[in-house]
């Protein structure tokens, strides 16, 4: 189905009328991420400015989308964000770094999966309706033909407000299989089949317990990252009718602009410097978090706890999530960096560690724990590594799996929030912090979620804070403002540290 396409054939003339399409599926593991990667690569290589989005709170898939398109992928979530905020993030993303020609949004899980069984809150379908966005359904057709029509029919009629504009058949075995499934879907549902993807193991991307291997790590360890993306792009461009995708994306109405935007720069005379840990071990950051810190007046300085020997001159540190358990050997071996961070913490430098950052800030980290129900690190030896020690506790990797939205409020003033501030966020981890002292101090009380212990999160010592909660700055408005104001306040009383 390869077609010659031209980037100047599809240009948005109105900011609110961005051509857009949402890639969803009947369930997880149907192939929507691979299809999304292929479409982003095909359109980008044809000269389009393609703005990628991800429904939900995944960090890893967007890392590929940013690499492929050269534009910052954004996350949108209908539970954490109001409809106006979803539109604000969407329009801002499409109009930043040069106006996008087209937006491609990847959904989360199945089209209608959300927070509740009787509402669409938190679902891909909710976002499709908020953004008035047509949906292309990726269907795993392994071992089904006529039944595929029943599935599409059910998805189409379940919520008539969701516009299922096309279907891509994935995991097709052969031409007869493809012909029967396509005929059945188009006869019984009138939804056009715009793509047929045959089974192809060459399109597989490295996986691990949180999903795909992050793009930053895959690129650094792979001698042919571009080749892998090129293979996916070739299969998708040959199997999907790209002109029909563009046609679906064009058939959208304008979006109403939000009454106000959060993406407004603050006038500042002096910018505090926030050190951002970024490498193979720590790379789970929402682009909105980083951009809103800059808009609030911060200067961001990136450093690597794995590779850099010393902490750069900064006024604060932000250590995001990631895979410290997989790089524990390297993190332990970098004694000078661990010592610098602990010294900075003891001196009162504001430090915020988020999930993986929390793990790194504790005293020890044990990987490969052999426990009943163990499911992901059984091929690793049981090993304990020294970490920073700015926070008390021993982090254990084990069978425990926590995936949840959480709701919390601050019981203490911290680098990311003042007493009484509340937030909705999420947590996703396979570890727990043990061996906490009786006088351990926590700054966040959760009304929903697990946290570190007994619904408490935000382990704190001096101005160092570690949380399992992942804060989303485009949802929790106080994140960037509180962070920058706290650091500026501390900067007034202390010198920046090395």
**355 is an active site residue:** yes
Whose tokens are 């992928």? That residue is 73
Of the CA atoms within 13 Å of residue 245, those in its CB half-sphere come to 29
* 214 contacts 283 by C-beta, under 8 angstroms: yes
| Tokens read off for 21 | 């399409």
Whose tokens are 């492929």? That residue is 68
For residue 171, what is the enclosing H or E element? strand 164-172
- Helix (H, G, I), strand (E, B), or coil: what is residue 393? coil
Q: What contacts 24+ positions apart, CB below 8 Å, involve 418-422?
A: 418/478, 418/482, 421/478, 421/482
Catalytic residue, candidates 94, 133, 355, 467 = 355
Residue 31 burial (CB count, 10 A): 20
Alpha-carbon gap, residue 173 to 180, rounded angstroms: 11
* 69 contacts 51 by C-beta, under 8 angstroms: yes
| Tokens read off for 366 | 């044990």
Give per-residue burial for 46-57: e unless 16+ CB within 10 Å, then b. Answer: bebbbbbbbbbb
For residue 317, what is the enclosing H or E element? strand 316-319
Q: Show which residues are catalytic.
A: 355
């Amino acid at each position: 189905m390869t077609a010659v396409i031209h980037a100047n054939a599809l240009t948005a003339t109105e900011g609110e009328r961005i051509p857009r399409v949402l890639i969803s599926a009947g369930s997880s593991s149907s192939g929507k991420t691979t299809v999304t990667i292929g479409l982003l690569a095909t359109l980008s290589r044809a000269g389009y400015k393609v703005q990628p989005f991800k429904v939900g709170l995944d960090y890893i898939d967007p890392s590929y989308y940013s690499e492929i398109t050269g534009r910052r992928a954004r996350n949108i979530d209908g539970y954490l964000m109001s409809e106006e905020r979803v539109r604000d993030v969407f329009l801002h993303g499409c109009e930043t770094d040069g106006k996008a020609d087209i937006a491609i949004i990847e959904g989360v899980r199945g089209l209608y999966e959300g927070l509740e069984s009787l509402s669409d809150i938190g679902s891909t379908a909710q976002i499709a309706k908020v953004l008035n966005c047509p949906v292309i359904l990726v269907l795993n057709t392994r071992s089904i033909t006529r039944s595929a029509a029943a599935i599409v029919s059910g998805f189409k009629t379940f919520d008539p407000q969701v516009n299922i504009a096309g279907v891509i058949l994935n995991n097709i075995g052969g031409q007869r299989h493809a012909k029967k499934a396509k005929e059945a879907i188009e006869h019984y549902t009138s939804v056009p089949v715009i793509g047929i993807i045959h089974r192809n193991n060459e399109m597989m991307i490295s996986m691990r317990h949180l999903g795909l291997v992050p793009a930053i790590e895959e690129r650094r360890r792979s001698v042919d990252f571009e080749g892998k993306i090129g293979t996916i792009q070739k299969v998708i461009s040959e199997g999907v009718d790209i002109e029909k995708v563009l046609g679906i994306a064009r058939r959208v109405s304008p979006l109403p602009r939000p009454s106000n935007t959060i993406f407004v720069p603050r006038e500042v005379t002096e910018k505090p410097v926030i050190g951002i840990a970024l490498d193979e071990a720590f790379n789970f950051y929402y682009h909105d978090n980083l951009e809103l810190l800059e808009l609030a007046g911060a200067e961001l300085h990136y450093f690597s706890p794995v590779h850099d020997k010393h902490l750069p001159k900064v006024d604060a540190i932000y250590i995001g999530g990631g895979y410290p358990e997989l790089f524990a050997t390297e993190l332990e071996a970098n004694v000078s960096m661990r010592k610098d961070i602990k010294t900075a913490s003891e001196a009162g430098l504001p430090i915020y560690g988020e999930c993986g950052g929390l793990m790194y800030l504790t005293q020890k980290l044990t990987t490969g724990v052999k426990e009943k129900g163990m499911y992901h690190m059984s091929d690793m030896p049981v090993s304990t590594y020294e970490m920073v020690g700015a926070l008390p506790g021993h982090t254990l990797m084990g069978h425990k799996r926590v995936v949840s939205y959480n709701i919390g409020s601050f019981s203490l003033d911290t680098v990311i929030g003042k007493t009484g501030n509340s937030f909705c966020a999420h947590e996703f981890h396979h570890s727990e912090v043990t061996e906490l002292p009786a006088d351990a101090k926590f700054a966040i009380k959760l009304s929903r979620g697990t946290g570190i212990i007994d619904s408490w999160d935000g382990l704190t010592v001096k101005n160092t804070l570690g949380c399992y909660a992942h804060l989303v700055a485009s949802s929790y408005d106080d994140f960037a403002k509180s962070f920058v104001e706290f650091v500026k306040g501390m900067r007034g009383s202390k010198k920046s540290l090395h």
